[in-house]
Structure 1
Amino acid sequence: MTDNADMTSPMRAAAMQRGLFVYILLYGGMTVLAGVLAFKQVQLWPTDLAVESGIFAFLLLVAISSTIAQLYGEKIATRLVWWGFLPLAVSATLIFLVLALPASPEMSEFRAGDLAAFETVLSQTPRIMAAGPVAYLVSLLLNVWIFSRLRGAGETNTFGLMARGAIASALSQAIDSVIFITLAFYGEFDIGNLLVGQVIAKVALSIVLIPFLITGGVALARWLDERPA
């Protein structure tokens, strides 16, 4: 009995669907990348709306979590959101460590501009660093919950999948903006215009991009799962 039990665990690990495995890897990378990209704001042509670039990585997190909920279940998607804190915590720890270590004399002397840019991008105020994970957790858990609750019994049509993805993403992104901007900037300046602009921009991106990201993500995961090992 012991030998069989010892063999069961490795076999279960090896039996993980390939699509799920790939998306877990992508999810971890996007949680880290979103914070770095957020330093730059981009204009959403042809409007005057501006949005921090981290939204593009964050929308991939939304699409991945929704895809996993669709194919592998809400429970696994929810776990993935919680475990997303692990790469966030590890990357934050490494960033603090690297920022605390002194730069080499050669870099300080000959590449002072690069060093200043590096520190500017990776150095964030404590409020912003705290606001990011809180907004991440609430909005991604909300996205998975709404997406799963809207699912009809036996739903198989693509339009239903796209509509659920757009609605869940739009609502969760609106909440994400409210939480992040309030925690990060309330009391420092009037956040009204920034908050309204970010909500409109993120909801618009959710409606335009998420339906296609989810349907494409579901199709890719199914293709990966069906391929021979």
Structure 2
Amino acid sequence: MTAPIRVLVCDDQALIRTGFATIIGAQPDLAVVGECGNGREAVDLAGRLRPDVVVMDVRMPVLDGIAATRLLAGVGAAHPVKVLVVTTFNLDEYVYEALRAGASGFLLKDAPPAQLLHGIRTIAGGAALLAPEVTRQLVGRYAARIRPAEGTPNDVGLTRRELEVLRLIADGLSNGEIAARLVISQETVKTYVSRILTKLDLRDRVQAVVYAYRTGLVT
């Protein structure tokens, strides 16, 4: 049997934390290895418990979720952990910064339990999770305040089609939706996504979205 996915839940609101832990712990393929109420505790516990995924709130005392995510999943992290940020609509700026810090995805706190479970499994499996229905609102609303990065996607040799796919990723479309929009197969979309990530030296789709906004490819 495959070992269950080890999950650490971090949220300063006890009711939400307990609710998440109850939902996650009821799944045979998931195991809650710890709970905590601030980012500092999350970093400390992750070092001892080695979870596969940390479900992370953003606004917390002592150490917020952004700083904790940077320590857990950012460049130079001693033992990188995948982080799933859970947030609300009024935290646009914080979510953008969390994604830059290394989070593998985000969900809204009022998402159905099935989406939370899907999100944990998705990022544990090495993929990124973007909630398509909120990506443009969540990242795009903050895009006007993002300092543009130097260079453009064309500087690293993306083809016209790859640029088109990158724009659609940044719009929050799934591989299936991109395939339908461009009238190509999902396998072809996966190939384009892989090439884009390789050429831009990005880890996943979340970083691709951030990159697209920072370079002005999407406005």
Normalised-by-shorter TM-score class:
under 0.3
**Higher helix proportion, which one?**
1
Relative CO higher for 1 or 2, CA cutoff 8 Å, sep ≥ 6?
A: 1
Please report the TM-score for the alignment, with normalisation by the length of structure 1.
0.21
Larger radius of gyration between Structure 1 and Structure 2: 1
Please report the TM-score for the alignment, with normalisation by the length of structure 2.
0.22
**Higher strand proportion, which one?**
2
